[in-house]
């Protein structure tokens, strides 16, 4: 597990916003031989699938996370992002 990273998304009605992709959270010194092939969002303890509705992740590179901006009162959520290289 890495250190937590926090993001703030400012309110915009009916909008979402990017909160980073896999390179925001992980470093890969050998993308030629060991490229990231998948990333998923999990519960905050990394043990199961994310069941929330405020965050989505793209199904392909660069696996961009997107967060909900349309909640005027705001929201706070802790998640785990897990990426693999198919090995």
**How large a percentage of the chain has pLDDT more than 90?**
26
**How large a percentage of the chain has pLDDT more than 70?**
89
Is pLDDT above 50 for 9?
A: yes
36-61: pLDDT as tens digits: 899 999 998 999 999 998 999 999 99
Q: Quick one: tokens of 16?
A: 């979402």
The pTM score is 0.76
For the chain, helix, strand, coil in percent to 5 are 5, 25, 70
Q: Tell the residue number behind the tokens 């705001």, with chain if given.
A: 74
Burial class for 45, CB neighbours closer than 10 Å (0-12, 13-18, 19+): exposed
Between CA 17 and CA 64 the distance in angstroms is: 10
Residue 25 pLDDT? 81
Residue 1 pLDDT? 46
């Amino acid at each position: 597990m890495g250190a937590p990273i926090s993001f703030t998304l400012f309110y915009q009605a009916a909008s979402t916003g990017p909160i980073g992709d896999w390179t925001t959270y992980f470093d890969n010194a050998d993308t030629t031989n060991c490229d990231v092939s998948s990333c998923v969002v999990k519960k905050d303890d990394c043990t199961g699938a994310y069941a929330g509705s405020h965050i989505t992740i793209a199904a392909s590179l660069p696996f961009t996370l997107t967060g909900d901006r349309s909640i005027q009162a705001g929201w706070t959520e802790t998640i785990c992002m897990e990426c693999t290289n198919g090995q």
